[in-house]
Structure 1
């Protein structure tokens, strides 16, 4: 039997019911069902040879008897024998089974001890119910039989006291497992709800209204015509006078550089020596070629050192001063900055300049016209959507040269509306219906407002969450395994070395 198929059986058995499954517990104790055999078998045991002859291991002071070990070994061996022709005679297999048996007992002891510390108990009343009511093995004609109980245990070399002790420990361990299932996997209710939300799909359409969108519709001829209106022309002049900074371009330089980094353990003297060698190469070789080969600035290296145009205030002080003071076409001296050593080649310079009113006025006119049109359009659409006038809204949008954009179908597990990546629009979409397809208000997102309407809503068949269940079970199993591993790291565990080396 492969490790994967065995784990699948174990996971399937443990995922069946969140309630304490007495039948499964009895099967694990008597008939050899193993929890996490392969998952945890990679933990090696540590022996010290000081245990008594009747002890298999000691876990935080609790003795695991040789008899418990032999019984566990026999159960595992009997289980595996079903897959190896009825017997196991390979010495490697026998040693592996002994290792698994000891690891299983140690892990169960650690789990039970942790359950006690966390006040997770298995009461006498619970054990009685499991034995007398839940397990069918001890019943005849549906009634618990004390003699049948004792005889079946005896046939499996167990006393009632031993069986009940093991059953109590297994019950506590099972409770721990259930906590991991509840804490690390989605509940069935959550999965059902998610499936229901996935089955509901919508397609909505929206119109974006803001000044930038409307400005695209304004032609230069339209802007120029508005400037013939003295009142509008004054608005344009006032805007220019009050926003002078928009029309001023500072001095700029276009440069390339080569960087050899310092800091973070780099040898500064070695870095400078490398840069001095580069200076010698540049006397004979092309700057861009050398930069592409040796520069340690990954952002500009792929562009042969090119930094493009930049104004003052963009670079560190030392670099900026060297770039602006180096003539066009020349290469600077070596420049030291907090990043390392640089050498800079200046390709071009642009002086500071101011765009004149004559050159700027048409652009300003288009901007003001767009802002005023945006305000008027948004106000009128607010009035129409408040009335739910779908036909009137469509007519006005067409008249205004705006257009609808469809989101495409999306399910209700989404967080944002497709196409615009908007949480506000997604939430507003949930209020739409075929009876009321138009949102009653404009939805604001950033500097834009949106008209929103339903195009279609439909239900699709939900898919079975088999893969999700498997993933949740695996997550729970992995969490339990890590928890046991943590317990073992801090536990005091001694084992009888002879048990694993015996022939």
Structure 2
């Protein structure tokens, strides 16, 4: 089971984990995604149909996965159903082909495994126990019935079983292990020479002709995108609420309504000892009652007497006494008890219970002063919401075909605001909203100079905007980018001169010069390193990366590249010693073997899946 869980994917990973589904279910979002024709099929794979409902559900869930990622724009084109359908359908075809192949091979999943997987999912639990109502509620939120979910879960476990079997049967040959060890345990000897930027010894300055030539050869680099700024008026419920005057009498009336509806029933947390019906139950109950009457502690008696396995390890604790969550006999039995007191025997279908009040919280109605500000804000917002919709319509009327925003501003008491410049792709403030940018660059606004329509940018906020400034796309003038180009050319000239020095240094070494003597002569920094491993902590990490990226050849090899300090780094590789198993600690060798086996298994499983999909017969409707 653990192997299966580790390899879960598809419906099980997406639906059961329910990282984004549960909040939607709780907020009332149901199966609205099941639009389109409920029946029919979109494709058939090896005789198995993919229905419109399956595709609609998969598209919806893929969209929710993407929306759950940070920084995703909900209005992005790639999130539209029509753009998701194609890739999602291909995923469903792949999945269906794998299921068909597994079933044709005689692989199956037992009902016991499926049921246990469902029962173990915390998303379907209430107070630590599987809850059928929660199970049905969550499934309905994503368009499943228990039957269709169980069938889909069975298919996902089937795919996981195949993947687990392939990966479990994977192995590593001695030759494979030796090959990887020879690289991982490799040691290299090398010399390093640092040519500092100061070795150039002269000021570098590009000519006017060079600057001009670079500019004209790279003009598209200096493209300034189309920009504009806007004037706008903003209508929002929050702003309207700030100016609403709420009478004290109205606040008092609302408070009185709250007090009239206030539920002062105490909150009670309970524990119990359950004696199940059966032979000896009466004697056991009498013995328990006797010990309680004698003053023995309830908590101490739970473990020896309670038949409720789920709660006996926690002193019989059941939690908050919530209507509908416990037998109806519990509430009246503890109604008049105080904290720590124990009830008389309570009979239910489960047996005989003795209840203890663990904690009792008396709820006191809040005072008027405690609630005054909150009620005032609540009433102000309610009034503002009514005014908002009336003013929104009026805002549209006042700005339609108007010369500007002044009339609407005066009539509705709205401030005319201005934005910073923004492009079609990005902006700040109000222009950070894509809906606003799209409206601003609408030809009616940007070319004809008219006001936009009233744009609702959220459920309680709308804007009307008009062009303030507009700059078409253009190539920046040379004077605007001259300093930038000059700095770029200076750096390029510096690197070219340093590269020439490095190449000349390497040429001398190839002609027989001694590396250290040559470095000392040129006053370059020199260092030598003998049989260094990849994991050596005494050598600079960037230098190590360069050394171990060099090809292993007979004799010496050379490499020159820009140093992080701005100079040039010349590396002379003098010796490469392949690693052996004896070079590695047993734990590292074991981990390497396990990792190689896992990677082989993943590759083999990917190859198997690709082969199955390639051979599958898919027909589209």
Q: Same fold (TM over 0.5)?
A: no
TM-score by length of 2: 0.29
TM-score by length of 1: 0.35
Larger radius of gyration: 1
